[in-house]
Amino acid sequence: DAGVIQSPRHEVTEMGQEVTLRCKPISGHDYLFWYRQTMMRGLELLIYFNNNVPIDDSGMPEDRFSAKMPNASFSTLKIQPSEPRDSAVYFCASSRDRGLGGYTFGSGTRLTVV
């Protein structure tokens, strides 16, 4: 089991550019979560999916953020246009059984918008 795989590990982009973060959940996990972590705000849930369907996107900061899960093994988080305040570490996590027993996190994508 390779765990939750995220790419890229690091991303540096200029303000106004489009950024796409990718995630491959653990096979068999039917829940997928996108989190953002900053020193000031800690871990924030952005959106989560169940069986590829978005369930709660109330944490998505604004319309510049969008997430998709076209199939059970792949999800993207897109920021367009990016802004310096989007700089953070973005984590993807997956689970089964509604997350009872905890989530498995990926190693994260460190995003820097200059």
Partner 1 sequence: QKEVEQDPGPLSVPEGAIVSLNCTYSNSAFQYFMWYRQYSRKGPELLMYTYSSGNKEDGRFTAQVDKSSKYISLFIRDSQPSDSATYLCAMQAAGNKLTFGGGTRVLVKP
Q: Which residues pair with 25 in a beta bridge?
A: none
Whether residue 23 contacts residue 31, with contact meaning beta carbons closer than 8 Å, is answered with no
Regarding 49 and contact with partner 1 (CB under 8 A), the answer is: no
Rule CB under 8 A: say whether 34 interacts with partner 1: no
Q: What is the smallest separation between the CB atom of 32 and partner 1, expressed in angstroms?
A: 12
Q: Say which residues have a Cβ less than 8 Å from residue 97's Cβ, sequence separation at least 6.
A: none
| Of positions 19, 34, 48, 82, contacts partner 1 by CB under 8 A | 48
Place of tokens 């990926």: 106
Residues that bind partner 1 in the complex, under the rule CB under 8 A: 4, 33, 42-43, 45, 48, 56, 91, 93, 98-108, 110
